Amino acid sequence: MDSIFDVPFALGMMRLPDYPALAEPSALADWISRQVEAGFTLFDHADIYGAGECETRFGEALKAAPALKANLQVITKADIVTAQADRSPFSVKHYDTTRAYLMQQAEQSLSRLNLERIDVFLIHRPDPLMPAEETARALEDLVAQGKVGQVGVSNFLPEQWRWLQANLNQKLVCNQVQLSLTVTDMLVSGQLEAHLHDGLKLLAWSPLAGGQWPEALSQRLAQLAEEKGVAREAIALAWLKAIPGMPLPVVGTCNPERLAACAQVTDVQLNRPEWYALWEAARGHRVP
């Protein structure tokens, strides 16, 4: 069976409320259908996105067009408790990786998303107080109950995911981290190689850095885009996908024009000098 990660990029749903044209379930269902038809079948959620609104709206769209469920896959995440959601006297943002909390959040996500199973369920942020054995049992139980297909982590460093994995009988399949031309520390810190060694698929959030590229990088992207006849977004994503292990970008836009620009990544291949020229422009100094 093909991996659900075998797509040009995943579609991040965090900013779904920013698109009033997709507010109606039928409109969002049509948008989802167009993405699936184009081969973009993996949708990335989290329980806190829009305080649950993003999952809810997505679920309402699937209720309006239930046939879509068979043709798409969903990632969602949990363990962040926002200050607004904290019921303690402190109203403090914190992380909760206890079994009870993770089971509760998974159930709520399933309900909001109108799904019977979450394809990949991630621990959203490392929790310094994580009861690793208890957290692991929760993840295993969710898989055993058929409510979750696979499990992974997000924003974890190597020893953090290795400690969870040491307590877990289920294989962690991925780690979602910030990675783009403007955020590249992991490429020189050994973190990339840790992902490769441990067999974790690397998912890159904010892969286009919100379009906030330094001037030198923007110029280099424009130059290569013109030479190859594609959009700058496609060049930036191709740079990511050239990294060993082919990190999977999680593109956080619902704008049709920008998605079409990103989709051109399938037509782009960068050679080594081009890749390093982009990295040099992003870093603002020559490669050492």
Task: Supply the residues annotated as catalytic.
Answer: 49
Closest to 205 in 3D by CA, of 9, 72, 58, 74: 9
Q: 52: left (phi > 0), else alpha (psi -120 to 50), else beta? A: left
Cβ-count burial 247-283 (b if 16+ within 10 Å, e if not): bbbbbbbbeeebbebbbbbeebebeeebeebbbebbb
Q: How far apart are CA 103 and CA 284, in angstroms?
A: 45
Whose CA is closest to 249, among 161, 259, 17? 259
* First-residue to last-residue Cα distance in the chain: 42
Q: Which amino acid is at 139?
A: L
Tell me the C-alpha distance between 282 and 118, whole Å: 36
CB 79 within 8 A of CB 101: yes
CA distance 158 to 211: 29
45 within 8 A of 13, measured Cβ to Cβ: yes
